[in-house]
Structure 1
Amino acid sequence: MAKYVELAYPIYEGMPVYPGLPQTEVDERERIANGDPWNGSVLKMYLHAGTHVDAPFHHDSNDRGIDQVPIEDFIYESPLLLDVELGENEYITVDMLKAAGEQLERSDMLIFNTGYWKYCNEDFVKYSNGFPALSVEATQFIRTSLPVCKGRCN
């Protein structure tokens, strides 16, 4: 049987969101403990909050929305986690990618652990504005030399 791992921050009322975006709200409508026949909640959450995927539509009004991206596009057989400790506004380089050697060539998804995730709850403004990123050269290397889909995780 296949094993899947979900990569996501928890969703909860008051979770960190990008400055200026609406806060996440959870309205616990029904509760068995209160005599209701089931537990039910209403979740109000901005689509760009928490762990999310930017659909092509996010940057191009003529492109696909997330509902048009097949679920299979999010399932990988050989993901590779690269630990590259980086600070504010630092870049992942081609040399950092190449350091993974043959594993890099066999992967169908890259996940970068830059360690920057620690700022998500400590200093969200820093987390959301000064995060590490791929250098232009590393982005070009991935697009031209490696499998089709890649990801990034702080």
Structure 2
Amino acid sequence: MHGQHARPTSTLSSPASAAARTPPPVQGGARHSRRGRITGRLRRRILAYRAVEFLSTHIPDHSGPGEECLLLVHVRQVVGQVHYRVCTHCAQGVITAMTLDERFRSTGLGTRALSHLRSRHPGLAWRSTLSMRITRDLLRRMRIPTVTADPHCPHAGRATV
């Protein structure tokens, strides 16, 4: 019996009696408990900033030249889209649609996507045609004015990208 000589011979300290004396672990411990609301929000925000990539695509013959889409991709899955039109002759950009998965709302991903558009197309004046409650606050924070009609650029007949 290898290693038996180092163990005490008392029956009071045997492993079976030690397990009988110690109370079972408490089930409401913090180690495996559900994360709180603030911790979960912070975790989603970090995930949105670290693991989401932006891919820009041109939409051919969708609603005219200059129509593009910014895809927000997380682990080979599209979690959001921003549809927009750009006219370099007028130096204006119009955001026509914006979608974002429910789990990525309130994480700052919308702000990051619009900031990405501004940095990708510098010098453009941005407007929006969106009037949904979810996007209205975001556009107000980003200082992007909302227009009531869907304005088409006079250069829409030509390629403007």
TM class, shorter-chain normalised?
under 0.3
Q: More strand by proportion, 1 or 2?
A: 2
Q: TM-score normalized by structure 1?
A: 0.23
Q: TM-score normalized by structure 2?
A: 0.22
